[in-house]
Amino acid sequence: MAGADTHGPPPSPSPSVLRLAQTEPLAVGHLRKVYQHPLERDFVVKVMREDAVEARWGAGGRWYKKLVRARQYAGYVRELKEYIAAQARFAAGNAPIARMVGLAETDLGLGLVSEKVRGADGGLAPTLAALYAREGGFDARIESDLERFLAGLLACNVIVGDMHAWNIVHGADSRGGPRFVLIDGFGEKHVLPRSSMSRRLNAWNTRKLFRRMREQLVRLVPLEAAASDREAS
């Protein structure tokens, strides 16, 4: 239309779009930011970090990552698919992975919605790394809960793509707790779905990732430093 103003502010987001941009994230990870769901107090919304998207899927990113149709949202697809698979095969109320709720449009891009795992104070549950540092190592309670965590992954044949002490939290959700819960990093990552094809191979890989996670934690959070930090607080 002649004379129309084409230089005005961009249109406001639809009322159905969750507004997160003006709020502080609850947590920031390597690839994602975690926000409180603005309408549901028991849910969180994870969105991709803009800098991570640019680094991995932008102009300077590796070419083969751009071949994946879901691009930066491929992780969402893996986690939703694995949660659905666990439900379908094992009615996985006890699978120690975050309860996936779905997807949501946000003013920061597509968001992945999951149930919040709460700590004793009602906030986000502490990570295994934080708990390890606070307790000064693996005490009997941590050891027992870690054994149950691994047993749950194996019993429900959960495919784990990434496991570390910062994506495992200790808390409760609508399915009970407190217990350890893997909040992301699950789902088949390989082009040849070898973990999907062999339960025995998947169990071997899960145990390997679990051992590596523990070794990494001990290296990165020495017991002496953890104990002194706890005493200082």
> Do residues 45 and 104 make contact, with C-beta atoms less than 8 angstroms apart?
yes
pLDDT tens for 62-92 read 766 666 788 899 999 999 999 999 988 876 5
DSSP state at residue 38: S
> Residue 12 has what pLDDT?
57
> Residue 69 has what pLDDT?
82
List residues bridging with 102 in a β-sheet. 113
> Residue 57 has what pLDDT?
82
Name the amino acid, one letter, at 34.
V
> Residue 230 has what pLDDT?
42
Query: What is the rounded CA–CA span in Å between residue 133 and residue 226?
Result: 5
> Residue 228 has what pLDDT?
45
Domain positions in the chain are 27-232
> Residue 70 has what pLDDT?
84
> Residue 31 has what pLDDT?
94
Starting at the earlier edge strand, list the strands of the sheet with 43-48.
Answer: 27-28, 32-36, 43-48, 109-115, 100-106
DSSP state at residue 68: S
Phi, psi of 110, rounded to the nearest 5 degrees: -65, 135
Query: What is the rounded CA–CA span in Å between residue 164 and residue 48?
Result: 19
Query: What is the rounded CA–CA span in Å between residue 29 and residue 48?
Result: 9
How would you label 168-198 residue by residue, b for 16+ Cβ within 10 Å and e otherwise? bbbbbbeeebbbbbbbbbbbbeeeeeebbee
Q: What is the pTM of this model?
A: 0.85
Q: What is the pLDDT along the chain (233 residues), one digit of tens a residue?
A: 444 455 555 555 566 899 999 999 999 999 999 999 999 999 999 999 999 998 888 766 676 666 678 889 999 999 999 999 998 887 656 799 999 999 999 999 999 999 999 999 999 999 999 999 988 888 999 999 999 999 999 999 999 999 999 999 999 999 998 999 999 999 998 778 888 999 999 999 999 999 999 999 988 866 544 444 444 43
In which element (H, E) is residue 45 found? strand 43-48
Contacts of 74 (CB under 8 A, 6+ apart): 68
CATH fit for domain 27-232, picks 2.30.30, 1.10.3470, 1.10.510, 1.10.3860? 1.10.510
Query: What is the rounded CA–CA span in Å between residue 119 and residue 129?
Result: 14
* Beta-strand pair 168-173/109-115: unpaired
Query: What is the rounded CA–CA span in Å between residue 173 and residue 204?
Result: 28
Q: Is 72 exposed, middle or buried (0-12, 13-18, 19+ CB in 10 A)?
A: buried
